[in-house]
Chain A
Amino acid sequence: MERGVQQTRTSPVALSLSQLRPGQRGIVRQADVAGDDAALLRAMGLCCNAKVRLCRAGEPCIVSVVTGNGAGCRIGLARPLAEKILVDPE
């Protein structure tokens, strides 16, 4: 959480996924998640440069990963993971 707050003060404004407003879009910049979880999230589509949209805020949240030309998927994420994924909001 602290990391996300710090990042909001820097430019460009990066937020953690859990700080997005419902419906807000962003581009994943960094996923600071521990080992196995990071690999799984990347394999599920939550990798750097992935376009995301927050569908439901809160704990847990739902994020939609948009991979172009209408393709994509939805992932339910617990807060400990969502907090560690940094996005550039659109």
Chain B
Amino acid sequence: MSTATPQSDTRPAEAPTAAPPLRIALLGNPNTGKTTLFNRLSGLRHKTSNFPGTTLEARVGRIRVVVPADGAAPAVERAAEIIDLPGIYSLELDQLEAETCRAVLAGRAAPRGQPVAEPSALCVVADATNLPRSLMLVGEALRRRLPTVIAINMIDLARRRGIHINPAALEQELGCPVVCTSARTGEGLAELELAFARAAVPRQTPPGAEAGLRAWADTLYAAAAAGEPDQDADTLTDRLDRAFTHPVLGVAVFALVMAGLFWTIFILADIPTQWIEAVFGAATEGVRAVLPEGVIADLAADGIVAGVGAVVVFLPQICLLFFLIALLEDTGYLARAAFVVDRLLRPLGLPGHAFVPLLSAHACALPGIMAARAIPDRRERLATILVAPFMSCSARLPVYILLIGILFRDRPAMAALAFVGCYGLGIVAAAGSALIARRTILRGASRPMALELPTYKRPSLRTAAMTTWDRAVVFLRKAGTNIMAISIILWWLGAYPHVPPPADAVNLREAAVAAAPAEAEQLVQEADRLEAAHQKANSFAGRIGRTIQPIFEPLGYDWKLTVGVITSFAAREVFVSTMAVMVGGDEEDEQVLDTIAAAQRDDGTPLFTPAVCWSLLVYYVLAMQCLPTLAVTAREAGGVKWALLQLVWMCGIAYLAAMLAFHLAS
């Protein structure tokens, strides 16, 4: 089979542990199953980082390559690293992905944490169902004169379409190993691993000019493939596309699929989320039981354990979302979804790809922003990341429930309308902001859609699980550490400095000692609440709240509401528990809404007037009050400045809109 000449760097090493690992770069068109192939080869033995100076994902996997016996030298196993390069249509394109591939192949760049050096071999992943186009990329790659292996992937799909490919003929012609594989079924993978050891510098250098290269690829294809000429009607794909890309039916199918997706996440993520909350709740108590009361116990329990909990609690949603999206993508449907909604989003300066991130943001902005990676154009991706947090996430729900409950008590129809209005306001703000961003800071012609619609196929659970694993690890390692640090700082601001209990509380406790047991318990509870409220009011957060209250005066908020707004930066739902502590009542208590609703200002007038409720509602719909989101924005957008812009823009809009709402409703 082999006509290839082994290269110096594939010669068997006497002491394999001493030899540096082989570095094999995986190059290929999008939709060729390159990532599935990578997952098959490396399994979980891989690290995900990014290419320096970019947010392009770089995955490096560890595999073993068997170098066969060569004369006197016995066969040895060598460690090898495979680098998954971004999928590109051509190495010569003027885009970040292609530039990154060029740099890696030339030894000018490497994934973060890897030594910058030319790869020792190049594996070009070609698409067996569209080999003439893949051969164009093969030709460009061969011009790099690196030891090369060609994997013709998706051979099972090609066979089903009646396309026959003769790898031996290609190997003969090119002078480097050519292997037919199916990453989905595992076919040909053992052969591919063996071929890595035979990677050879190609015998010929294809023409550099595009026309010449195309003629070269066509000639090569004619010599190596046979099939029905001009038979392009893939009937199943045709039939499915007729439904899925139909202007009306397609949108309906899309709506159904998305509803199913989020319903599944809503139902399923809730269960592990509750477990996680229970586990961390128990852990907090456990820490308190073990450690002596004091600063260390407070830090460990309320700072660190609760901080870790604040990170981990997002995991179920993130994992489920990415698992389901990866499955949908693998079937080929997701490209159709982007196709269908492109027309709807285009007027806002956003592509069809932005829909999934924006919809995901309704559950939680974090996975939504992470899902924006699928958007190819940088400006469109940034615009999507910037506006995604306007979508009403589930953390806003407790606040909506509280405020709408106060506004429309016993009027469920009006309450439902107000809920819809909150979601609508968020969507309108996102649409308007996207429009403005795309005409100012992210100006640039909207790239008209040119989107490949891959062949439909059965999805690989393995690939989906691997993608999910990657996203979870990235989230925990990169965003998680920031989120935890932020949680600890916010806890500290809310809990310190410790102040002596107020006189009222001391008096109540003294009274409790003398009172009957039933009454004493009540008195102690009231004393606890007074102490907690006093502590909150005099903590750093409370002091900040009092200091900046004048800023929120035009919105109708007193200092207690200001403290609630400030503490909401840890997570919006904290508003409800903060208000419960500030004005009295227990969060667990079913009467908590009544207690909060009856809260009074320091001068004795009611606090939650309709005008204040509307103002708060509008503020919570629009304001950026989620530091974890800012941490993820900074990471995914590639700079803190984007997070700051998001914060200033959203809070600015929220402030003005809330002020307007307050004055209109007054």
Q: Is there contact, CB below 8 Å, between A60 and B231?
A: no
Chain B residues 226 to 276 lying within 8 A of chain A, measured CB to CB, are: 226-233, 237-238, 241-242, 245, 247
Q: Out of A35, A40, A60, A72, name the residue touching B130 (CB < 8 Å).
A: A72
Q: Is there contact, CB below 8 Å, between A60 and B339?
A: yes
Q: Out of B221, B222, B225, B343, name the residue touching A60 (CB < 8 Å).
A: B343
Q: Is there contact, CB below 8 Å, between B339 and A69?
A: no
Min CB distance A15 to B, Å, is 19
Q: Is there contact, CB below 8 Å, between B247 and A71?
A: no
Q: How distant is the Cα of A73 from the Cα of B227 in the complex, in angstroms?
A: 16
Q: Is there contact, CB below 8 Å, between A36 and B453?
A: no
Residues of B within 8 A of A45 (CB): 130, 132-133
Number of interface residues of B (CB under 8 A): 49
Knowing A45-B133, A55-B241, A76-B451, the reply to whether A64 touches B214 (Cβ < 8 A) is: no
Q: Out of A51, A56, A69, A73, name the residue touching B163 (CB < 8 Å).
A: A69
Q: Is there contact, CB below 8 Å, between A68 and B218?
A: yes
Min CB distance B231 to A, Å, is 5
Q: Is there contact, CB below 8 Å, between A60 and B449?
A: yes
Knowing A39-B92, A76-B335, the reply to whether A68 touches B453 (Cβ < 8 A) is: no
Q: Is there contact, CB below 8 Å, between B453 and A74?
A: yes
Chain A residues 20 to 40 lying within 8 A of chain B, measured CB to CB, are: 35-37, 39-40
Q: Is there contact, CB below 8 Å, between A78 and B133?
A: no
Q: Is there contact, CB below 8 Å, between A69 and B225?
A: yes
Residues of A within 8 A of B450 (CB): 37, 40-41, 44, 75-78, 81
Q: Is there contact, CB below 8 Å, between B129 and A71?
A: yes
Knowing A37-B448, A37-B450, A40-B89, the reply to whether A68 touches B222 (Cβ < 8 A) is: yes
Q: Is there contact, CB below 8 Å, between A55 and B238?
A: yes
Residues of B within 8 A of A59 (CB): 343
Min CB distance A66 to B, Å, is 4
Number of interface residues of A (CB under 8 A): 36
Across the interface, name the chain B residue whose C-beta is closest to A22: B242
Residues of B within 8 A of A58 (CB): 247
Q: How distant is the Cα of A64 from the Cα of B136 in the complex, in angstroms?
A: 18
User: What 1/0 mask marks residues of chain B from 325 to 365 whose CB sits below 8 Å from any chain A CB?
Assistant: 00000000001000100110010000000000000000000
Instruction: Determine chain A's interface SS by DSSP, over half rule.
Output: mixed
Q: How distant is the Cα of A42 from the Cα of B214 in the complex, in angstroms?
A: 10
Across the interface, name the chain B residue whose C-beta is closest to A42: B210
Residues of A within 8 A of B229 (CB): 68-70
Q: Out of A47, A55, A56, A73, name the residue touching B452 (CB < 8 Å).
A: A73
Residue A62 lies at the interface, judged by CB distance under 8 Å to chain B: yes
Residue B90 lies at the interface, judged by CB distance under 8 Å to chain A: yes
Having A41-B450, A76-B339, A76-B453, one finds 20 other A-B pairs with CB under 8 Å, namely A35-B94, A36-B94, A39-B92, A40-B450, A44-B133, A47-B210, A59-B343, A60-B339, A67-B132, A69-B226, A69-B227, A69-B229, A71-B158, A72-B130, A73-B133, A74-B454, A75-B451, A75-B453, A76-B342, A77-B450
* B interface residues with partner A (beta carbon < 8 Å): 89-90, 92-95, 129-133, 136, 158, 161-163, 210, 214, 218, 221-222, 225-233, 237-238, 241-242, 245, 247, 335, 339, 342-343, 346, 447-454
- What are 14 A-B contacts with C-beta separation under 8 Å? A36-B93, A36-B94, A37-B447, A42-B90, A45-B130, A45-B132, A51-B230, A53-B232, A56-B245, A69-B163, A70-B161, A75-B451, A76-B453, A81-B449
Please list the 4 inter-chain residue pairs (A to B) with the smallest Cβ-Cβ separation, ordered nearest first.
A43-B89, A43-B90, A78-B448, A69-B227
